[in-house]
Homo-oligomer: A and B are copies of this chain.
Amino acid sequence: MSFAVMDGEGDDLTAKAIAATPFTAPQYTGKEYREGEYRLLAPMLPGKVVAIGRNYADHVAEVFKQSAEQLPPTLFIKPPTAVVGPGAPIRIPDFATRVEFEGELALIIGKPCKNVKADNWRDVVLGYTVVNDVSSRDLQFSDGQWARAKGIDTFCPLGPWIQTDLDAIETDDLPIKARLTHGGVTEVKQDSNSNQMIMDLGEIIEFITASMTLLPGDVICTGSPAGTAPMEPGDYIEIEVPGVGVLGNPVERA
């Protein structure tokens, strides 16, 4: 198991192993792997996963039946033990009876930081990835607090990799899609854009770091747009953020 630089595109995509971590300039070991010769794991084992909830007005309306003015963005934490990589099954326990996907852009923090001003958010970010903030709606509402509903093992698929070129995407105008395959039929369920965010990436980093020190490897989930829907064992859920990647996971009974 090692970190690797993903080089090339399509059939030419090659995993080039590096000696250390993504936080320093890559030192290539010389080992290279083509498709079929490697398996992607979660691109980071974070110290903490800090998430912004209620950051898209249309999602606030669908889940909470209230306006974003009534329910502004809030902050919650998913445990590191919930993180799995691309392709790993999302495993639903018996007591979670309505489990939904939430497709989101995620940030991987690159430097220890506190009290970061919004304009400087890019200085502390290593790169972008995709997260599925899997949420048991029944537990979310019965508990009041969201930590259990969103913190069950496997409820934080992350990947497929880290886009470290911060200029590769237009973060203020970024499509976010979720495709659910159920009974052999694939439907686009989420089809939104980061331009619908209430707090943008800079505001999110400023908001979080006013309270909490962020450390390298910490993951920031930037919120889900509308279109979240239940998943069942046998389904397959794919979150796509163009320019970042596609994160796909099967759904199983735990």
Nearest CB in chain B: distance from A68 CB, A = 13
Residues 176-205 of A, flagged 1 when their CB comes within 8 A of B and 0 if not, give 000000000000000000000000000000
A213's nearest neighbour on chain B, judged by CB, is B81
Q: Are A77 and B77 in contact (CB-based, < 8 A)?
A: yes
A71 CB contacts on chain B under 8 angstroms: 144
Q: Are B211 and A152 in contact (CB-based, < 8 A)?
A: yes
A79 to B211, CA, bound (A): 11
A151 CB contacts on chain B under 8 angstroms: 75, 77, 211-212
- In chain A, positions 36-59 with a C-beta closer than 8 Å to chain B are 47-48, 50, 53
Q: Are B81 and A215 in contact (CB-based, < 8 A)?
A: yes
A153 CB contacts on chain B under 8 angstroms: 114, 211-213
Contact A95 B210, CB 8 Å, known A47-B80, A81-B48, A151-B77: yes
A48 to B50, CA, bound (A): 12
Nearest CB in chain B: distance from A116 CB, A = 13
A64's nearest neighbour on chain B, judged by CB, is B144
A78's nearest neighbour on chain B, judged by CB, is B77
Check if A74 is an interface residue, CB within 8 A of chain B: yes
Check if A246 is an interface residue, CB within 8 A of chain B: no
A148 CB contacts on chain B under 8 angstroms: 74-75, 211-212
Our pick among B53, B79, B213 for the contact of A145 (Cβ within 8 Å) is B53
Check if A28 is an interface residue, CB within 8 A of chain B: no
Check if A88 is an interface residue, CB within 8 A of chain B: no
Residues of A within 8 A of B (CB): 47-48, 50, 53, 71, 74-82, 93, 95, 114, 143-148, 151-153, 210-215
Q: List 10 A-B contacts (CB under 8 A).
A: A47-B47, A48-B80, A50-B79, A50-B147, A53-B145, A77-B78, A77-B79, A145-B145, A152-B211, A153-B211
**Given contact pairs A76-B77, A93-B211, a sample of 19 additional A-B residue pairs in the complex whose CB atoms are under 8 Å apart:** A47-B47, A48-B80, A48-B81, A50-B147, A74-B143, A74-B144, A75-B148, A77-B78, A77-B147, A79-B212, A81-B212, A81-B215, A95-B210, A145-B146, A147-B147, A148-B212, A151-B212, A152-B211, A152-B212
